Every structure is written in C-alpha cells, then in structure tokens.
C-alpha cells in the first residue's frame, strides 16, 4: 500500500555519455521538464510517451522501465526534447532524464490496514493534467523514505451521470523522520477510474494537512478529453 517516494528509471550509459559530451559547435536542443504518461513494450523499455497536452510520441532512445516491467503504463517526470522532421513535424522524443512519480489508484480509508496517515506537507504547485491531478509537494525530513498514497473519501454521481465528484485526501507517512530540511516529492493522482463514457465533467477536491496542522483543500473541475 505504501508507494516509494521516487523510483529511478534506468537510463543507458550511452545516453548519459552523449549528454555529457562537449563541443563548441554543438547546439543543445530545447528541453522540457514535464509529467508524462509512458508505455513500455514487451522488452520492458519505454516505447511511447503521452503528454498532458495530448501529444503521443515515440521514445527514440532506449530507456528501461523499473524492473523491466513489460507492457506497463508509467507516470513519469522527465527532461525531454522533441526530434523534428524537415517539415517541422515531431518524429519522436529523446528522454535525457526520467523518474517515476507516486501515482497509485486512490483507495478507500478501510484499505489502509494501519490507518490513514496525514503527516504535514506543503503544496508547491498543483494543476490538472490529462486524466491526472499533478502535485509537487515540499516535505521536511532527511533522506529517509516517506510513504504516499491517495485516500478516496467520497464519490458522488453514478457511472451513468454526466457530472461526478470525488473527494481525496493525501496519505503521507513520514515515519518519524526528523524535519531537518526541505525536499520535493512528485505525485500524480490517476482519475481514469472516475471517468466513464458518460462523464462530461469531474469535480476533484484534494485535501492535505499543511505545516500549520490545518487542512488545505484544492478544487478542480476537469473536462475529460475525448
């Protein structure tokens, strides 16, 4: 039930060496840092990425999924650059660095055997992606792992209704990690389980405990893309 804070994707040495090369005549491409939805192939390497803007691109370099997970969907944050054809069309992307983000399917409180933990965190940024709610947190601690998940508090509206609402709470277990310094955690809440063919809009309420021991709630109205 407890997802790790971050799991690194294995990038091949050739990619790292290419990125480290120095050439006075070389012009580095424009690189974007974004949340992406990646899909691995039967060999456990990333085959495609889907941007939150809806663009689906082939991964042109070899990037191995964690544990070589085959035929899997992964939510990642990555530095990438688009490769362009002569006519300006994007032929694919090169990933320069990537890591998975915390992105488990929300579960009801009863599913957490040890109870729901709501240790404090601060929201650095939060926004709606493509079928995901993206969250960047600042947490206090050391290098110890913190456990994150999403608690499904309430769902309103049936699967046949045009409008649905879901209330979620951040599960955060700092496990007595002393708050020596601040670091970031990257999370992305999957919303696909709340979206059906009949869903025209989804209201998402996301709550967490802040450093002042107060409940913060962020509300978004999401219009699924067809």
Q: In order along the chain (226 residues), what is the average pLDDT of each group of 10 residues?
A: 36 29 48 90 94 95 86 93 85 89 94 95 97 96 92 96 97 93 94 94 98 97 88
- Each residue of 118-142: b (16+ CB within 10 Å) or e? bbbbbeeebebbbbbbbbbbebbbe
Alpha carbons 176 and 173: distance in angstroms, whole number: 8
Residues in the chain: 226
CATH class belonging to 107-222: mainly beta
Alpha carbons 79 and 31: distance in angstroms, whole number: 6
pLDDT of residue 88: 81
Q: Where in the chain is the domain with CATH 2.60.40.2370?
A: 107-222
Among 69, 46, 74, CA closest to 59: 46
pLDDT of residue 89: 85
Tell me the β-bridge partners of 139: 183
Number of Cβ atoms within 10 Å of the Cβ of 1: 12
pLDDT of residue 30: 67
pLDDT of residue 217: 98
According to CATH, the topology of domain 7-100 is OB fold (Dihydrolipoamide Acetyltransferase, E2P) (2.40.50)
Query: What is the gyration radius of the CA atoms in the chain, in angstroms?
Result: 19
Number of Cβ atoms within 10 Å of the Cβ of 23: 7
Alpha carbons 221 and 205: distance in angstroms, whole number: 9
CB 104 within 8 A of CB 7: no
Number of Cβ atoms within 10 Å of the Cβ of 208: 23
Q: Where in the chain is the domain with CATH 2.40.50.500?
A: 7-100
């Amino acid at each position: 039930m407890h997802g790790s804070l971050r799991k690194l994707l294995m990038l091949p040495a050739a990619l790292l060496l290419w990125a480290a090369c120095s050439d006075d005549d070389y012009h580095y491409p424009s690189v974007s840092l974004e949340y992406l939805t990646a899909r691995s192939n039967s060999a456990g390497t990333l085959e495609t990425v889907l941007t939150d803007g809806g663009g689906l691109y082939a991964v042109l370099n070899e990037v191995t999924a964690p544990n070589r997970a085959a035929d899997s969907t992964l939510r990642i944050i990555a530095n990438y650059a688009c490769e362009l054809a002569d006519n300006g069309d994007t032929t694919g992307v090169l990933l320069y660095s990537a890591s998975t983000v915390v992105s488990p399917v929300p579960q009801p409180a009863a599913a957490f055997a040890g109870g729901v933990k709501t240790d404090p965190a601060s929201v650095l940024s939060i926004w709606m992606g493509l079928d995901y709610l993206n969250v960047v947190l600042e947490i206090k601690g050391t290098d110890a792992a913190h456990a994150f998940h999403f608690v499904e508090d309430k769902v309103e509206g049936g699967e046949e209704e045009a409008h649905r609402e879901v209330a979620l709470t951040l599960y955060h277990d700092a496990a007595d990690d002393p708050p020596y310094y601040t670091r970031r955690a990257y999370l992305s809440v999957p919303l696909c389980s709340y979206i059906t063919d009949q869903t025209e809009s989804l209201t998402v309420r996301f709550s967490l405990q802040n450093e002042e021991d107060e409940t913060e709630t962020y509300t978004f109205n999401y219009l699924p893309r067809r």
